[in-house]
A and B are shown apart, each in its own frame.
Chain A
Amino acid sequence: MINTAFYIFFALLSVIPLVAWLLHRRSRWLWLPAMLLVVGLVAGAAAAGHGVWGSNQPVPSFSWNFPFPFALSIDRLSAFFLFLICAISIPIAIFSLSYVNGHYQGPRRAWIWTLLPLFILSMSVVVTASTALAFLFGWELMTLLSAGLILVEGTSEERLHNVFIYLLMMHASAAAVAAAFFLFWPHSPGLEFASIRSSAPALGPAIRTVVFLLAFVGFGTKAGIIPFHLWLPRAHPIAPSPVSALMSGVMLKTAIYGLVRFAFDFLGGGPPWSGYLVLAAGAVSGLLGVLYAIAEHDLKRLLAYHSVENIGIIYLGLGSSLLFLANGAPQWASLALIAALLHTLNHALFKSLLFLGAGAISHSTHTLDLEEHGGLLKRMPVTGTAFLIGCCSIVGLPLFNGFISEWLTFRSFLGGSLLANATAQVVLPLMIGVLALIGGLAAACFAKVYGVAFLGRPRSAEAEHAEETPLAMRTGLVLLALPCVVLGVLPSLALSPLARLAQVLVPGSSVPEEISSISRVIPWVAATLLGTIVVTFAIRRAQRFTATWACGLPPLTSRMQYTSTAFSKPIRSVFAAVYRPDRKVEVLPADQPYFPASISYRSERTTSYEKFLYRPAVDAIVAAAHQLRRLQTGNIQIYLLYIFLTLVSLLVYLRFLR
């Protein structure tokens, strides 16, 4: 039964490209690929649902041994991530129905409907793989297909450069992940997950450390933690909006899956310091991610930086879980792990929602520059309301889903004070301050985004004439916004399956009592707020719309509103050390500074990662390559000498050193 659903999922998604190419000239059948995609995804979600709510027995499905051992099976961890991929992709597919068909014509449209289902399929392979090679196969496909989807949008010089950086970093990441897997080879020749798991205790401590570090770097690059985030703000914003939603909302989660699979399932907790490493990565990514986001006014770039921030929050949960595990506190470890996994789900929901919302805005206003929006809520009420729910969720405000996972993370930090280890006892509670600062900055950022884009006066003619998006796009947005509120008010819906999953990953833990505690208090808070709001709305007085007094001058114009740049100015000044802005003011004509005809102002953030980290690394590699070139003299006798020396040294090795 489960397998049937899983096979239907695979069959439908692989047949869509064919359908798309056959029908791409017939405008009457344009809905068919999207429909097939939705049906296939529902089947996939149903197959995953069994593992999420049902038994923990892994359900094997595809399996063959030629040309390499390839097998897929769904255990509880896979099921959670497969469910996440399928469930989040459904609204995205519905949204794409009108977005893709409205924005692309002819072969381009067919290309999107070819690559999109295969991209989703490749992510499903990653999370259900039960051999290393199947995992790497899916991992590689995922990168290539998403790069293809970015290139459908265009092939300008700049785009190609960004895609090149994306591919380069993804392959570095894939290499690290592959190396982490292959270190298990001596103990488990088939590299099946089951044998990897059982051979992990046989590894030496040094090898275990190397495996953990490789997994950390490999999956960290995919997840976009700082300083490996370089590709993320380049690749995510330039993809078509539904693809951005998939990349940010869903694809990043496969990296979280990989890290959890390695650190918890295979290794059963990393080295003792691994928790600190992951915590530090989370704190740095969270803080810098949100600080970079505030400075942006391109909506999709801003959202991409928020992905860095939220991955940071997930890492904070994972890090504290590893720390608890290393200090022998499985109960708290499972709480922190639940927090991280729940935030993974929540981020998938609200980030897809926000990226689709960005797509809806650009559909209606033809721009992603916040300074050109304004007053959109009155013109696009459904999109505006859904986007507001997304903003509240990502900020982590109570009654929305983001709050529940941040609350659980806070509680796990508080639990750190109970550990015997003095360092952990101080570090974990101090992380409360870091997470609070991240939350505060995110609130400032989304007050800016929503206030500038959706409220106030329209700032451009496009914004003034914006119209509500088509039904399919609105449906996609609403389908993502609803679970944000439902999970925010009734968190136990998500928490009880996650608690069972955490029990599998953290042996010796039971369901933390914090889960029932938050599920008890939130409905009361919701009832109090709702009741009071209803009462206050009952006080009705005459209402009138009237122009604001403009100090006797002609009426206010949209130019007098605070802009996105102005809004973020105080925070940018306080954290100027992070941005190192490069400012240029040009006054024309230059000889009349007090009576200028025009003033132009440019402020650019110097990208210190490229300058101080990547450039030296690239330079070092190039310099090393130059040194290696000395070996290549072009003289045949020298090459014969190399062969001879190699042969001799191998013989010596075989005879004496083994």
Chain B
Amino acid sequence: MTMAIDVFQALLLILAAPLVRGIVARIKAGIQGRRGASIWRPYADVLKMFRKEDLAPPSASAVFRFAPRLLFAVAVAVAAFVPVLQPSALLGSLGDFIVMVYLMALGRFFLALGGMDGGSAFGGMGASREALVSTLAEAPFLLSMAALSISAHSPRIADIVGWTLGQDFFDISAVHILAFASMGMVALAESGRMPVDNPTTHLELTMIHEAMVLEYSGPSLALIEWASAIKLNVMLALLIALFGPWGMATHLAPVALGSAFGVYLLKMLLLMTALAVIESSVAKLRMYLVPDFLGVATATSVLAIIFTVLSRR
């Protein structure tokens, strides 16, 4: 039964990912005074691209077609790390956060290679910029999760969530606040949202992720788009699981699971609204201010680590 719920969690994170994008876009449209597209639009986009032919530049090698598939596979594997309804997950109960973070790096590495395989200027430009952002995001990502795992005495994500569930919400320490601030900034950078990257732009001067995938089309592009939607969904779910798991089912009863699902949806809606508000109210940072942004995230996560020692009881 636990296994079945774990599978359901992973499928939820994978299949509902385009919907999250759609809802965020819809809320943003509302804030900007537009009507906006249907929240189901990302599904239609992905389906449409799956039906088109797969174009590749003449210089492209096997890496060009392999990269999107690996990226998608990584997204699927990462989705299996995050608890949603109960403090356990398919891979999250086996592997720790280091494996998860490095899996994301695997996907990014190959996508950067895929971008450079196109043989045009844009792919290399995007890959180079993405390399900078992800290089600087890795340290705060790992450090803030390390701070939590030190408090929880286990590096496994499911165990951290289980430990947090046992704590009183009003008793959470400074470690959680610092780590949350750091992880929030990392989540924006990792999923390529404002103020680090603008997912809706195609302007040479500013685009990062979009420049890297500019040469892709058809099913390859569909997989990339879906994978980055999963990544956004996973990052949001991870924030919920690590910093606000209260409401998750601690035992296997239909009522507990049902209420856990409802609470999860509410928390997700809250985060999506927050994301839309941030994206509508903040301007994109200049490329060379991104290191400062991530520098703040790193400093915050370093403080979180120091506070774990100070607050040790």
Contacts and interface: CB of A to CB of B under 8 A. Distances in A.
Asked if A and B bind, the verdict is yes
Interface of A: 375, 377-378, 384, 388, 392, 395-399, 403, 406-407, 410-411, 413-414, 417, 422, 425-426, 429-430, 432-434, 436-437, 439-441, 443-444, 446-448, 450-452, 454-457, 517, 520-522, 524-525, 528-533, 536-537, 539, 541-548, 550, 556, 558, 560-562, 566-571, 573-574
22 contacts: A392-B106, A411-B96, A425-B309, A426-B306, A429-B146, A443-B108, A443-B131, A444-B134, A451-B124, A455-B64, A524-B91, A528-B76, A532-B72, A536-B69, A539-B219, A541-B52, A544-B53, A545-B60, A561-B121, A562-B127, A567-B128, A574-B291
B308 interface: yes
Interface string B124-159: 110111011011111111110011011000010000
A544 B218 CA distance: 11
Given A533-B70, A546-B55, A571-B135, A439 B128 contact: no
A567 B124 contact: yes
B59 A567 contact: no
B63 A439 contact: no
Given A524-B91, A541-B219, A407 B116 contact: no
B309 A426 contact: yes
A445 to B, nearest CB: 9
The B interface, classified by DSSP as helix, strand, loop or mixed, is helix
Contact of B56 (A388, A413, A544): A544
B91 A525 contact: yes
Closest 9 CB pairs of A and B: A562-B124, A451-B116, A440-B135, A532-B73, A444-B131, A521-B95, A455-B117, A440-B138, A542-B53
A529 B74 contact: yes
Interface of B: 50-66, 68-70, 72-74, 76-77, 80, 91, 94-96, 98-99, 101-103, 105-106, 108-109, 112-113, 115-121, 123-125, 127-129, 131-132, 134-143, 146-147, 149-150, 155, 215, 218-219, 223, 287-288, 291, 298, 301-302, 305-306, 308-309
Contacts of A446: 109
A397 B120 contact: no
A448 B219 CA distance: 26
B50 A398 contact: no
A541 B120 CA distance: 24
Given A440-B134, A541-B219, A433 B128 contact: no
Contact of B99 (A434, A447, A457, A521): A521
Contacts of B117: 451, 455-456
A569 B131 CA distance: 11
Given A532-B72, A561-B119, 20 more contacts: A392-B106, A417-B150, A430-B305, A440-B135, A448-B128, A450-B113, A451-B117, A454-B61, A455-B63, A456-B116, A532-B73, A541-B51, A542-B54, A543-B53, A545-B55, A545-B58, A561-B116, A566-B128, A567-B124, A570-B128
A585 to B, nearest CB: 20
Contacts of A560: 120-121
Nearest to B98: A410
B287 A570 contact: yes
Contacts of B112: 447, 451
Given A397-B109, A403-B102, A426-B306, A545 B132 contact: no
Given A533-B69, A542-B53, A560-B121, A432 B94 contact: no
A532 B77 contact: yes
A560 B298 CA distance: 35
A612 B34 CA distance: 61
B119 A433 contact: no
Nearest to B51: A541
Contacts of B129: 570
A411 B139 CA distance: 15
A162 to B, nearest CB: 31
Given A443-B109, A447-B113, A547 B98 contact: no
Given A430-B302, A533-B70, A545-B57, A443 B135 contact: yes
A441 B135 contact: yes
A473 to B, nearest CB: 20
Contacts of A398: 99, 102-103, 106
- Looking at A378, A437, A451, A558, which has the most chain B CB atoms within 10 Å of its CB? A451
A439 B77 CA distance: 21
Contacts of A561: 116, 119-121, 124
Given A457-B119, A532-B77, A558-B119, A437 B55 contact: no
B60 A432 contact: no
A396 B52 CA distance: 36
B17 to A, nearest CB: 14
Nearest to A550: B120
Given A411-B155, A456-B119, A524-B94, A443 B113 contact: no
Contacts of B306: 426
Contact of B62 (A377, A525, A530, A541): A377
B150 A429 contact: yes
B22 to A, nearest CB: 22
A200 B256 CA distance: 63
Contacts of A429: 143, 146-147, 150, 305, 308
B131 A537 contact: no
Nearest to B50: A539
B155 A528 contact: no
A437 B302 contact: no
B204 to A, nearest CB: 11
A413 B288 CA distance: 31
B299 to A, nearest CB: 10
Given A447-B116, A567-B127, A528 B142 contact: no
A589 B51 CA distance: 57
A548 B113 CA distance: 17
A377 B61 CA distance: 7
A407 B291 contact: no
B113 A529 contact: no
Contact of A541 (B54, B59, B66, B73): B54
A543 B135 contact: no
Contacts of A548: 57, 118-120, 215
A388 B63 CA distance: 10
A532 B69 CA distance: 8
B77 A529 contact: yes
Given A398-B103, A528-B73, A456 B109 contact: no
A398 B107 CA distance: 10
Nearest to A547: B58
A377 B121 contact: no
Nearest to A571: B132
A568 to B, nearest CB: 8
Contacts of B69: 532-533, 536-537
B278 to A, nearest CB: 24
Contacts of A375: 59, 61, 119
A450 B66 CA distance: 15
A501 to B, nearest CB: 24
B138 A437 contact: yes
Nearest to A399: B106
A540 B108 CA distance: 23
B164 to A, nearest CB: 17
B132 A444 contact: yes
A422 B309 contact: yes
A201 to B, nearest CB: 34
A520 B94 CA distance: 8
A106 B117 CA distance: 42
A48 B243 CA distance: 51
Contacts of A573: 288
A389 to B, nearest CB: 13
Nearest to A403: B102
A578 B139 CA distance: 19
A406 B99 CA distance: 10
